[in-house]
Amino acid sequence: MSVNYKDEYVSRCPFCGGTQMIEAFQAAYGAVSGTENRLGGSTLYHSICRRCGSVVRSYVKDPEKLLRRKDRNQTE
């Protein structure tokens, strides 16, 4: 089973070769905050291999929330 997160596929665990991923999240005290924007925070999501339990990928769904409001949506 492949899991699609914004056009990026996680289809195989690099540690054991497993192909089934579980999506889990970490919130509250495990939330991610930007260095300049410490209010609030974003939930941290994980793709975890069902076979060996390795965290294959960690991500936030909206990284723009980690920036200060005035810096959001500015391109590099």
CA distances from 64 to 15, 37, 55 (A): 31, 11, 23
* pLDDT for position 67: 74
Starting at the edge strand found earlier in the chain, the sheet holding 55-59 runs: 21-26, 44-49, 55-59
Mean pLDDT over residues 2-24, rounded?
77
Average pLDDT over the chain, rounded to an integer: 77
> What residue spans define the domains of the chain?
3-63
Greater confidence (57 vs 36) lies with 57
Identify the DSSP state of 32: B
